Amino acid sequence: MTAFEHEEATVTGLRASMASGDLSSRALTESYLARIETIDPGLRSVLEINLDALEIAERMDEERDAGNDRGPLHGIPVLVKDNVDTADRMRTTAGSLGLGEVTPARDAFVIERIREAGAVILGKANLSEWANFRSTRSTSGWSARGGQCRNPFDPARSPCGSSSGSGVAVSANLCAVAIGTETDGSIICPSSITGIVGLKPTVGLVSRSGVIPVAHSQDTAGPMARTVADAAALLTVLAGADERDPATAGARVEPDYAAFVDADGLRGARIGAARNLAGFNDHVDRLFDEALDAMRALGAEIVDPADIAHNGELDDPEYEVLLYEFRADIEAYLASLGPSQPYKTLADLIAFNREHAEEEMPFFGQEVFEQAVEKGQLTDPKYVEALETCRRLARDEGLDATFAKHELDAIVAPSNAPAWLIDPANGDHDVGGESTFAAVAGYPNVTVPMGFAFEMPIGISFMGRPWTEGTLVRLASAFEVGTNHRRAPGAEHR
Annotated catalytic, 171? Answer: no
The DSSP string of 302-330 is: EES--PPTTTTSSHHHHHHHHHHHHHHHH
Cα–Cα distance for residue pair 391/411, rounded to 1 Å: 18
Nearest CA-CA partner of 442 in 239, 216, 252, 233: 216
Distances (CA, A) of 358 to 147, 260, 355, 404: 13, 50, 8, 52
Residue type, 64: R
With b for 16 or more beta-carbon neighbours within 10 A and e for fewer, the 23-44 pattern comes to: bbbbebbebbbebbeebbeebb
Rounded-to-integer distance, Cα 45 and Cα 147, Å: 9
Catalytic residue, from 45, 166, 186, 191: name it.
186
| Active-site pick, 135, 162, 217, 461 | 162
Closest to 43 in 3D by CA, of 232, 197, 169, 202: 169
Annotation says 162 is catalytic: yes
Contact (CB, 8 A) for 469 and 253: no
The reply to whether 17 belongs to the active site is: no
- Measured between alpha carbons, how far is 225 from 8 in angstroms, rounded to an integer? 10
Question: Max CA-CA distance within the chain?
Answer: 62
Which residues touch 319 (CB under 8 Å, ≥6 apart)? none
- Enter the DSSP assignment of 267: T
Q: What whole-number distance in Å separates Cα of residue 300 and Cα of residue 268? A: 5
**Catalytic residue chosen out of the listed positions 81, 124, 200, 375:** 81
The residues that are catalytic are: 81, 162, 186
